Amino acid sequence: MINQLPENKQLILFDGVCNLCNNAINYVIKHDKKSMFMFAPLQSETGKKIIDKFKIDTDKMDSILLYSPKKGLSYKSTAALKIASYLGFPLNLLPVFYIIPGSIRNWVYDFIAKNRYKWFGKKDACMIPTKELRAKFIE
């Protein structure tokens, strides 16, 4: 599962039932011109293996995760900013927000994450990628 990830790729783990998260992943897919990313829902076997490997307490961490075999694991606002840096103009300018302390960035991130189902809704099941996108997803 984790071993399926080529060393030159990064894996974005996301909440597969969250509408906001799914829309964000669709946006990343569309704008990932260098094909840097692969994807897996947190609820998938791959997601569970990474959660176990890094001993993530899912009661305290309800977040997007960015995993790279070379760079390890990033989460919350840091993961989002790292992802944005690969997506071209204007999103590649978002890493300027690294000047804001991580605790403040993550407070904003957590506020949005806490309210995402209320604001954007929730699916009954994880998204199923189309045939064309299936190669970008790890089960």
Considering the entire predicted model, what is its pTM?
0.86
What's the chain's length in residues?
Answer: 139
pLDDT for 81 equals 94
pLDDT for 1 equals 53
Question: Are the C-beta atoms of 91 and 30 separated by less than 8 Å?
Answer: no
In what side-by-side order are the strands of the sheet with 37-41? 37-41, 10-14, 65-68, 72-75
Specify the 3-state DSSP secondary structure of 45: helix
pLDDT for 131 equals 66
- Per-residue exposure over 21-47, b if at least 16 CB sit within 10 Å of its own CB, e if not: bbebbeebbeebeeebbbbbbbebebb
Domain count, the chain: 1
The tokens describing 92, both together, are 């590649």
Supply the range of the domain harboring residue 61.
2-136
pLDDT for 89 equals 86
pLDDT truncated to tens, each residue of the chain (139 aa)?
566 677 788 999 988 777 888 888 989 999 998 889 999 888 888 888 888 888 887 766 667 899 988 888 998 999 999 999 999 888 888 889 999 999 999 999 989 988 888 888 877 656 666 666 776 777 7
